[in-house]
Structure 1
Amino acid sequence: MLTSNYTFSGAEEFSYNLKNLGRATIIGETTGGGAHPVATRIFPNLLVLARVSYGRAINPITGTNWEGVGVKPHIEVAASEAFDVAYIEALKKLKEKAGEEGRAFTLQWAIDGLEAKLHPITVEPEKLTSCVGVYGPRVITFENGLLYYQREERPKMVLTPMAEDLFMVGDIEYFRIRIVRDNDGRAIALDGMYDNGNIDNSLRSDGK
């Protein structure tokens, strides 16, 4: 279940109850902290408007509620990251129960992609430019601080680093590339990697 500091009132009660029943994992931010219903009273002669609490929710498990403190999540992250973190946690649970090796590989592939999105890394420009070259039908270029991948006449796609020599390709989820280097650190080949475990190799062909 995802929460933010804007989660309030009835949505908080739902989160609070499921958390204390052990029926949900809460991911996100601590909620707003509004457990007591209020009524509005207007005193026109005094030019005063008052909001007065007239009730109090009591959870039978905790004997209290979330007024003023909110519902604290099991996994505390920014609301903007909560969906991806929840997705990762769900994939990890599925991986624990995955019987076949291929299924576990595919799930780990998805986890790695989401982790890279949540925690982007920075690769030194010199390392990036060393990847530039022609690898058979595949070409890697460096433009305006970014690496691009292109195969034949297809559109160029930005390469997002997951590690120094491992990259996500545009918005393609099932395909990544890995740069292969010799003992001197020179890029000599490119591996096309797929989420089913297959790999195809393209040797560097520009003579550099």
Structure 2
Amino acid sequence: MKVLLLVFSSLLVTNVAKAQTTYEVLGQKPVKPAQKKLPVEAVVSSLILELQQHYVIPEVGTKMARKLKSQLSTYDTITSHTKLAAELEKDLKSVYPDKHLYVSYDPDFFQPGKEKTEAEKAENRNRELVSLKEQNFMFTDVRILPRNIGYVRINGFFVNRIEDARPTVNAAFRFIENTKALILDLRSNGGGNPKMVNLVESYFFKDSTHINNFQDGSSNKIKKIFTNPAITGGLTLSMPLFILTGKRTFSGAEAMSYDLQQLNRAKVVGDTTAGGGHLTRAFALKEGFVAEIPYADSVNPYSGKNWELTGVIPDVASLGGDALIKAQELIYQAELSKTLSDREKATILWQIDHLKASHVNQPEISLLKKYCGKYEGGSEVFLIDGALHLKNGEMDGDINKLIPINNKSFVWDENIHIEFEENVRKGLVLKFIFMGGHVREKSKIDWRFR
């Protein structure tokens, strides 16, 4: 029996080897199962139809349609839904780089005959509301900066039901209503609902003000947009306004920046924005594909233009990360030009130095070593990990890291700056400079000029 099994196994191996040899001789390999071909023509035809009916610049929509038709044979070779969507979008943007134009594969977006029930719609709205509340309706930071400057950071206008957001918006602006100036931070704001934009803009005008126009691409009909003081709960913010922008500021956030800039209601500080001036809407295509197609243009009633492709150009250019510092400095400089009090001028200059502290390179270690040592009153200066630290002998040995303003001046805390001064009579002097201008001095013990 064992002999028969061995003979059978030997014959099986020999036959397999012969079969492999036969394929090699004939130059053939086992055929893989064919991948399912995508319904390219149906998808492309439906996309072309929506572009021709709705795209905001009709002649560009026609060019896009021609581009898609010319690429049909290429699309036929694609077997992945997501890859096809990406290729369609890439080819559309090669005609015109519209940042509001997208193509995706989302079979759940619209299913004929499977419309959601009212109960399902209500459940979706509730889920959305819970999510928006967790994000505080995108009002991510509201605070008072030194010298009574208000700061509000809004990271998006993605709110469909404006009534849900209004109490949060009103509370944020009530908090800063008594400030001398307001900084509105839109550097990470990617836009959203135009109605949410209009709600926020309305707080900055006492009367209804014509602020923007929306022009439909297919009909050329114009919808005029006005601020609405009736929706702000009686609150009007009239203080000087500064808007921070960055490269990620997009769409509705650009609209707000541009609108308020053109009306001279705000000064824009930061980077040139992304450059998306169109309004967009989602359209269901065939076979589960979806296209976000820009259908209308923003046209400012005062400039007759918008920020499409160019972006919003800031009044004061500053790298995105430095824009907040720059805006505060502009506010302080404006205050400085108006005040007549020497004490007030000293306080403002102190605050300007304080702003610069975190943006100055660390002084040379050799200079820092010269400041190290013991001073009158039990104060001591020393280095830890290359940074200067000060122990205050009059405050139970409290130790603070010194943040450089320049080579001889440092921030000790929110109220006090430190300055090292070489004095012919006193030697090296440690000066405590208080926000209001008061100065206390302590000489270094056993100081010798070097």
Q: Note the 1:52-201 alignment, pairs <5 A.
A: 52-118=293-359, 120-136=360-376, 137-152=378-393, 153-169=396-412, 172-181=413-422, 188-201=428-441
Residue type of the alignment partner of 1:93: A
Cα deviation per residue 1:68-108 (whole Å; 9 max; x = unaligned)?
Answer: 22211112223222212111111111111112111111011
Distance 1:200 1:55, change over 3 A: same
Question: Is the Cα contact below 8 Å between 1:133 and 1:206 reproduced in 2?
Answer: no
Q: Distance in 2 between matches of 1:52 and 1:143?
A: 58
What per-residue deviation string (whole Å, max 9, x for no partner) do you get for residues 162-181 of structure 1? 22222221xx1221222232
Larger relative contact order (Cα-Cα within 8 Å, sequence gap ≥ 6): 1
Instruction: Report the residue type matching 2:284 in the other structure.
Output: I
Paired residues of 1:132 and 1:140 also in contact (CA < 8 A): yes
Ranges of 4+ aligned residues in structure 1 off by more than 3 Å: none
Instruction: Give the structure with higher Rg (CA).
Output: 2
1-side partners of 2:428 and 2:348: how far apart? 30
Matched residues, number: 202
SS, match of residue 310 in structure 2: coil
Which one of the candidate residues 275, 279, 299 is aligned to 1:37? 279
- Counterpart of 1:42, as a letter, is A
CA contact (8 A) 2:427 2:443 kept: no
After the TM superposition, which residues 1-20 of structure 1 pair with which residues of structure 2 at under 5 Å, given as runs? 1-20=243-262
| Counterpart residue number, 2:445 | 205
Confirm or deny: 8 A CA contact 2:427 2:447 kept in the other structure. no
8 Å contact from structure 1 (residues 135, 203) kept in 2: yes
Going by fraction, where is strand more abundant, 1 or 2?
1
Q: Which runs of 5+ in 1 are unaligned?
A: none
Distance 2:443 2:305 in 1: 66
Aligned-residue Cα RMSD (Å) equals 2.1
Which ranges in structure 2 are unaligned for 5 or more consecutive residues?
1-242
In structure 1, how many angstroms separate the alpha carbons of the residues matched to 2:295 and 2:444?
Answer: 75
Shift of 1:135: 0.5
Shift in Å, 1:16 = 0.7
TM-score of the superposed pair, with normalisation by structure 1 = 0.87
Percent of residue pairs bearing the same amino acid type: 27
Letter in 1 for 2:298: A
- Between structures 1 and 2, the one with greater helix share: 2
Secondary structure of 2:432's counterpart equals strand
Indicate conservation of the 8 Å contact 2:423/2:429, yes or no: no
Residue 134 of structure 1 aligns to which amino acid in structure 2?
K
Deviations 1:99-136 (A, max 9, x none): 21111110111011112323x03311111111111102
- Counterpart amino acid of 2:281? A
Counterpart-to-counterpart distance in 2, 1:15 and 1:163: 34
Contact 1:165 1:179 in 2 (8 A): yes
CA contact (8 A) 2:365 2:386 kept: yes
